[in-house]
Structures are given as C-alpha cells and as structure tokens.
Amino acid sequence: MKNLITLILALVSAYFLQAQKQTDSNTPLHMLQPAYQIPYGRPDVAGITQVLETVHTYLDRNTFPELIDKNTRHPVTDYSKTDGNTIFKPGDFRLVSYEWGVTYAGMLLAGEITGDPRYARYTTKRLKFLADIRPGFVAFEEQEPGVRHTFYSVLHPHALDDCGSLCAAMIKAQKQEAIPGLEPVIANFIDYISNKEFRLKDGTLARNRPLPNTIWLDDLFMSVPALAQMGAYTDDRKYFDDAVKQVLQFSRRMFNYEKGLFMHGWVQEMEEHPQFHWARANGWALMTMVELLEVLPADHPGYGDVLELLRRHIRGLANTQSSEGFWHQLLDRPDSYLETSATAIYTYSIARAINRGYVDGQVYGPMVCLAWNAVATKVNEHGQVEGTCVGTGMGFDPAFYYYRPVNVYAAHGYGPVLLAGAEMIRLLKNHNLKINDSALMLYDNGSAHLKTWKFHAGEGNKIPGTIHVTPETTWSEEKGYGLLAQKIPIAVTRKVKNHPTFTFLTNDQPFAFSLAVPEGRYAVTVTLGDPAGVSETTVKAESRRLMLENVYTAKGEIVTRTFITDVRTPRINPTEQIRLKPRELNYLNWDDKLTLEFSGSRPALSSLEITEVRDLPVIYLAGNSTVTDQEEEPWASWGQMFPRFLKPEVVVANYAESGESLLSFKRELRLQKILSLIQPGDWLFIEFAHNDQKPGGNHLDPFTTYREELKFYIGEARKKGARPVLVTSMHRRRFDESGKIVNSLEEFPEAMRQTAMEEKVPCIDIHAMSKTLFEALGPENSKKAFVHYPPNSFAGQTQPLADDTHFSNYGAYLLAQCVVKGIGESVPELAASLLSDLPPFDPAKPIPFEKFRLPRSIKYNTLHPAGN
C-alpha cells in the first residue's frame, strides 16, 4: 500500500511538472509576455495629459515672471525704474533662453490640443512680462549707455541662440492672443537673424567659433522657424525664401544621404568633416523642417525639396531607434547613452509629420508610440525631465559627446516633452492604433483619410489651402458650405502693423455657417477677436449645443479655441434607421451638414478650421426631453449645455429625444443606433423616468420592469466594452406650502439608485441635487429656470408659457452644472476630461439669473415638447 501511494505521488508530481513546463506542444509560445524595458503598446491620452499637467505644474511654480534687486533681493514692481542692479527673480530656468522659446511654444500647443487654458496662460503671462519690462531697460540704456543688464541679450542679441527660438514662439503667441509691446521685440529679433548674424558668402548662416566659418546644425532651428513664422505673419515671401535657402544649403554640406543623418558641425576650411551625428542637433534639424513645411506655401519652389529631405531624415532616424524607444546621444553609436530631449523632439516631429500627412503613419506610428512611452518614463513625480544632455558645443572626438553630463535642470528637455505629448494626443485622436498578434499596428493612415477644411474671413491675403468667406458666401448645395442668417454678417478689416490684413465677421444677430460633412466627429478651431476693439462670442453647434460660452477678448486680443462636436444621421445599416418623429425631420441634428452658430454682444470670427477626428472617447446620452438637444428657443436641456464643460479630448453624442421612455427609446431603434457606434472605453449616460411613470404602453413599474430595463441598457453597454452611468431624473417644479419641493417622480429615482449600487455603476443623482437647487431658487425665482414667459415674449405668442417640466437656458445650464458636479464626485475617470478652470458649483448657491448671460438662438417655437 505504501509503495502504491508513493507511485501515485510520483505520477502526480510528474504530471504537474509536465503541466508547468511550457513547450511548443502545450503553449502558444508566441503569446508569451515579452520582458519589455519600457511600457509597450498604444499610449493612453489620459496618461499623456497627466504627464503634461505634471510638467506644467513644476514649471509654473519654478519660473517667475518677476524682477528683483540683486543686492537687496527686494521685488522690483515699478518697471520704469529698472537699472543695472535689476535682475530676473531666480528660478530653476531662465525666461529668455532659446530652450525656453521651445517651452513657450510647447505650452501653446499643449493648450491648443487639450483645451486647457493654463498652458497658454503660462506663455502669455511671461511674454507679456517681457514686453512690459522692455521700455524700462531701453530707458536705462539711454541714461547709462554700455552698461550690461539682465535684459541685454533681448535688446542686443549677439547669437542666433539669443533670438531665433524666442522669436518663433512670440509670433505663435501673437497669432493666438495679441500681446501689447511684443512687436518691437519680434522686429528686433528678426532684424538680427536676417541682417546681423554672420553668414558665409552664399548667405548660409554661420559662426566664427570654435573655428572660423563654422556651420552649426543647431542654427537651423535657431533661425528657420522664426523666418518661416515671420513669412506667415507678414505675408512677405522673402522670409520663406531665406528659410528654404538655409535648410537646403545646410543639407548640401551636412546631410549624409547614405545614413539619412546630419553631422553636427561643418567647417569651411576643412577638406574632411568629422561625422558626429549628435542626437539633439539632428532633432533641431528635423523639427525645423516640420515647422517650415507647416507654413510654407505649397507652391513655393523649395517645398518639394524640403519635404523629400524630411522624409529621408525620418527614414534614417527610424533605423537608429533603440529597443527601449530612445535614441542614442550619438545616433549611429549604440554604446553611447540614451538621451531624452532628442527622443522627445523626434517624437513631436515625427508625430506631427504623420498628422500633417508628410509621412506614412502605418510605417512610423508604432515607432513614435514607442518613443513617447520611453519619454514618459523620464518625467518624474515632480514634473522634472530626467536624462537630458546639458548644453553642448561642437566636438571633433567621440569622448566629448559620450561624456556630456545629464541633468534635470538642463532646460532643453521641457519644451520638447510638452510638444511631444500634445502632438501624440492629436495622433491618438486621429488614428486607430491597436495590438495585433502582440505588435502595435496603425490600421488607418489617418493623415491620408482625415479631412480638414480651413476658412478665413474676408478676401485678405490668399492663404494656401484656405477658403475665404465673405458676407456674399451664402450656403449652397453646390459649394457645400456657406453662411446661414436672416441678417447676413458684415466683414470688418483692420490694418495691423507687421501683420497681414486682419478680417473678421460680426453681426448684431446670430449668424450661422454650415459645411456639408459625413457622419462623424469633428474638431472645430475658431480664431476670435478684434485688433481694434473688444469682442464677445458664443458658439453653438447643430441643434443649439453650447460649445463656447461668452468668449471675451480685450482690444487687440486674438484667441483660438477648439471644441469637438458630433455629426450624425439616422442611418444604422443599409436596411435600418432611427424612427424619427415628424418634428425631428428638419432638425439640424439630423441633416447632412455641420452647422455652427455665432452670437454674442459683439461676435468676431476671423477663421475657422474643421478637422475629422477619430478614436476619441464618446459620451452617449440616452434620455428624454430634459436631456435632448432642444432645437428651438425657449426650450433647453442639460444635454445641450453639457459640451461647454468638457476639454476637446472627449465628444458628446446626444441621442436623447423628447417624449422618450426606456421602452420607446429601444422601439424607435435609438438604442440600436448607439450600440452600432459605441466602442470600448466610451460612456453611456442613461436618464429616464418622466415618461416611464405615465400610464400606457411605455409604463414601467419602478422596482421591477424599470430596473430590468435599466439592467438591459447596462448589459448592452458592457457587452461593447463601454461604461454605463445612471443619471436620476430631476424634479418637476412643484412646491408645497412651506416652499419645499414635492417629489412627483414617485419611487423611480430610488429604484435607479438601487440598480446602480447593485450593478456597481456610477450614479449621478440629479434628483437630489435638483431638490436643493430649486428650493434655493424658491417658488417664484425657480420659474426663471423653467419655461415661464408672459404673452408676447416671442413673436406670435399670444398665450403665456407656464411649463414646470421643461427648462429655459438658465435652468438647463444649472442642471448641466449638477451633472458636472456629479461626474467630479462619482466618475473620476471622466472627471479628468472636465475643463480645469471651471468655478466650483453648489446647488444651494446657484448663479443668480441676473448674472446669467447666454445669447438666444434665432430659431424659436412656442410648441410644447413631447413629454411631461
């Protein structure tokens, strides 16, 4: 018996030993997890955003737009009294270095892509500071000529490092928001680049160090982007000509066509030129070409040459990327260390080249994702960038480059990380990247398929690829675009010094612009403002979705704002479509174009760019008349106010409709339409009760059939990998004698709360918040949140409107704030996509009606929406 037990134990042990042994016969070995040194796969937009926010926080806290007295260390706040003892308040980095020009540009791009105004504010605050202190130092020089001071390099640049990168960033900033007093700085910098920097006989920019007649590859970036930006800013072709000449003449001397790499330095008197392919200098060259092509007119004779050179360079760089995603300090020498700043520059430049269609995203998309994943590991918890080579001169031996120190205070890494992260967000939004058979693949070369339309107000300067819109550009099916308005807007043209003619459209009534587009999601970027006056613009999309609210610009201030909107059709598949109600057939939400409405006390629309986007998280809304995009005034819902509170990294698709219940929403195939589109990671917000409690064919019992239907919606969303969120319905306006809200929704809100708890899904409790809100307003003031209007408030309205279920713009806005508050408290994954500068909201202390300003749309209808 003992021997038998021993034999059995031996057989069992052998079996488990064999089971643990992974062989070709028992294991799909190709599915084993590789031991990657850095994270592998598709980067996450939220993760990138977190990196950007960490870097911004660190830099904002440690770079000061302030002056102090170097002896007393006291602040100097009267800029007219600056002198030789006045210095910048020391921080971790200098505000007037070429590295910080890159950082300023990176902050601007991060703000543009994320929609977070803190990034652009970082740049404009510091550039405004530089403009403000300039007159004081000019006056000091007149009193004490020849005395050096802290602002000397700005007034008297003596190298391209002093001016080129800063100049390019300043022009970019001016395009977004005009900064008074910055124009003389820009003019001085451009004058130095164009007329004062040393050049070879053929006009190539050069230096006389470390040897006479030396060309530094770095100088491409220290000059060409500024020249290119100035060409676009002034519409003066001479700047484009010089920029192209520099790129081509540098490349003839310094580009190794066999390797696809640039050498760092070239000396005219040398017959042989040392081939040290320093990573960061190659990054500056790559970034130069990308930024030049972005503004260079496509008909410029040098455009094709620059584009071909860019492609050759990217091919060369692709061959030298390490397995860890980084590039080496010397690109073709894999025993040199892995360097962060160059890797970040390549990440930005190649991602931008993909997004702009210069190179094939299917070829280079996975490579650039690997690069970003590597860069992200070098941003520490404090927001500091690790692994960046310090400032580097030119060397003619390998040891010089191999042993350059790295330091978190090397300023060269911060701007590139900001640029790379922002451009990667754009790439991920526009392209379908996913794992197939363990490898990351880009499945649509989005740069070839995603379309962009650019419109500019007035005739003005002819900008390549841009359609100019005048008051005569009215909508037509043949053109597929144009203005819609009862009163056509007027075009106002301003003459601005050192700037091309600036034209904007304005009107004293709302006006709209439509563009025929297919179903999809679109990023809309508007340029707003008036160089000679104030402006205030509100933008709504489709059926009055609030996208931008009362964007104010001071005199001379020009701003850009981006939002994402949804364009849809009823079609589900070739044989099925949503069963629209007759009144929906003419809604803007369901036509075959994107319509944008511009209104406000003085709207000023200068330009409009509309771009298809993909792979953005979508928030689908399923609900009734309290959620839907109400087509006409004076009716409104929280769903159409909701987009105003979101960053342009997520899109709202509002499929709610008046009169709907959980059953009718399915029966009319509205849920089926959502399920045909919804993707893993998307959200489905579900709010029903008002019509479900009514007797009839759509009636549900709160604790049985209502909960069953909610669970069905939740289950269908989860089958698609989407994330359901339940939203309790708000109260109707019914008060008791003591001024307290009476619950007219019976047990439906509690049934939803219980379902959320049981199914472990977030629940946004508008029912509870609306009770607090309406009681805070009181029986009389709460009428302003609902559709209560005396006769003749609208043309043809002979009877009073007194609706205690449906909301005015004011009420809908307050309820949207309730939803936003609920997201912050209950949906943390989505809370990161809320605008970061939203004021706190307390339902017990709502904004008074008298302080709420939202322009009405021009369409109105006093017909009561379906539902009650």
Answer whether residue 54 shows pLDDT above 80: yes
Mean pLDDT, the chain, integer: 92
Q: Give the ranges where 650-763 is alpha helix by DSSP (H).
A: 662-667, 670-677, 705-719, 748-759
Residue 364: how many other CB atoms lie within 10 Å: 20
pLDDT at 8: 58
Secondary structure (3-state) at 495: coil
Q: Residue 316: helix, strand or coil by DSSP?
A: helix
Higher pLDDT, 149 or 862: 149
Task: Bin 542: left if φ > 0, else alpha if -120 < ψ < 50, else beta.
Answer: left
Instruction: Single out the residue of 490, 460, 479, 459 nearest to residue 598, CA to CA.
Output: 490
Q: Number of H helices and number of E strands within the chain?
A: 25, 32
| Residue 211 φ/ψ, nearest 5 degrees | -130, 160
CATH superfamily of 616-868: SGNH hydrolase (3.40.50.1110)
Radius of gyration of the chain (CA): 30
What CATH code is assigned to 451-614? 2.60.120.430
Among 31-35, 142-146, 285-289, the range with the most confident prediction by mean pLDDT is 285-289
Q: Distance (Å, rounded) from C-alpha 819 to C-alpha 726?
A: 11
**pLDDT at residue 451 in the model:** 82
Q: Of 574, 561, 566, 624, which is closest to residue 595 (Cα–Cα)?
A: 566
Least confident of 343-347, 459-463, 738-742: 459-463
pLDDT of residue 868: 63
Identify the weakest region by mean pLDDT among 181-185, 454-458, 822-826. Answer: 454-458
The model's confidence at residue 144, banded by pLDDT at 50, 70 and 90, is very high
Where in the chain are the domains?
45-449, 451-614, 616-868
138-147, 248-257, 315-324, 429-438: which has the minimum mean pLDDT? Answer: 429-438
In this prediction, residues 625-631 reach a mean pLDDT of 94
Kindly tell me if the per-residue pLDDT of 710 is higher than 60: yes
Q: What is the dihedral of CA 80, 81, 87, 92, to 10 degrees?
A: -50
- pLDDT tier, 448 (very low <50, low <70, confident <90, very high otherwise): very low
Mean pLDDT of 64-83: 97
The yes-or-no verdict on residue 322 having pLDDT over 60 is: yes
Can you tell me the distance from the alpha carbon of 822 to that of 657, in angstroms, rounded to the nearest whole number? 22
Residue 486 has a pLDDT of: 75
**Residue bearing the bigger pLDDT, 728 or 488:** 728
Q: Which whole number is the average pLDDT over 12-16?
A: 51
Query: Is the pLDDT confidence value at 109 over 80?
Result: yes
pLDDT band at 65 (very low <50, low <70, confident <90, very high): very high
Question: In the predicted model, what is the mean pLDDT of residues 485-510?
Answer: 82
pLDDT of 17 reads: 45
pLDDT in tens, 88-103: 999 999 999 999 999 9
Q: pTM above the 0.75 mark?
A: no
Q: How far apart are CA 635 and CA 785, in angstroms?
A: 10
pLDDT at position 140 is 97
Tens of pLDDT along 533-555? 999 999 999 999 999 999 999 99
Query: How many other C-beta atoms can be found within 10 angstroms of the C-beta atom of residue 171?
Result: 27
State yes or no: cis peptide before 634, omega within 30 of 0.
yes
Average pLDDT over residues 284-312: 93
Percent of all residues in the chain with a pLDDT value above 90, rounded to a whole number = 79
Beta strands in 711-850 (DSSP E): 723-727, 763-764, 786-789, 801-807
Q: Which fold has domain 45-449?
A: Glycosyltransferase (1.50.10)
Comparison of pLDDT for 115 and 514, the residue scoring more: 514
Q: Facing residues of 560 across strands? A: 527
Q: At what angle do helices 361-376 and 45-62 cross, to 10 degrees?
A: 50
pLDDT digits (tens, 9 = 90+) for 756-781: 999 999 999 999 999 999 999 999 99
Of the given ranges (215-224, 495-504, 632-641), which has the lowest mean pLDDT? 495-504
**Confidence grade of residue 7 (pLDDT, cut at 50, 70, 90):** low
Please give the Cα distance from 768 to 749 (Å, whole number): 9
pLDDT at 819 over 90: yes
Topology agreement, domain 451-614 and domain 616-868: no
User: What pLDDT does residue 463 have?
Assistant: 60
